[in-house]
Amino acid sequence: MKASDAVLTPIHKEGHRFIAAFFAVSLLLFYFIMPALGWVGLIITLWCIYFFRDPNRFVPTTEGVLVSPADGTVSAVVDVVPPAELGMGDEPRVRISIFLSVFNVHVNRVPAAGKITGLAYVHGKYLSAAAEEAGEENERQLVRMTTEDGDDIAFAQVAGLIARRIICDLSEGDEVARGDRFGLIRFGSRTDIYLDKGMTAAVDVGQTMIGGETIIAHRA
């Protein structure tokens, strides 16, 4: 991601109030308290603009694939039982976990075109999002969907050590397109995706993901 993206790309609506607040505090520090602290406030304001950037993406049109739901680094590709809250059975499926640092774009995107068939919000802990157990113990938003190819998949927004707000704009019954924006997590987090049994992971641990662009899985 280029540094210029912070000013050349749109800013997610969730960031507007934070940017305005930090900028206002910076002005107060500059003119009424201590100019040196004003510079600190300005740096924080610029970082906030960078954090809430929402760049456009080139979504692949290849049939039968899923795209990454988030920017970040693949931290795990494992076989696990999907979240019980979504009623997807107790047979293990491939779960791909993506860790988002505070420097990644945090706008989340839908992995495939299809219909949202279930949502569940689970209150939990705030362990490091990089920890394996975070997917089962941390606060998280779970989403289940049926893709246009008939695959039954799920994805999850998982809060992290300093993340305290998960935003999901989806509702059950929504018809979505591959790469659609659907939410955001503040500030540092993880996103998981659970594949259908007929799908194969197309990424490895350590690989960098671009949300809405990187093909993360495909039909076997």
The catalytic residue positions are: 189
What lies within 8 Å, CB to CB, of 142 at 6+ separation is 83, 85, 86, 118, 119, 120, 121, 122, 154, 155, 156
Give 104: exposed, middle or buried? Use CB within 10 Å, 0-12, 13-18, 19+.
buried
Query: Helices (DSSP H) in the chain: which residue ranges?
Result: 5-8, 16-28, 35-51, 134-137
Residues 6+ apart with CB under 8 A from 58: 213
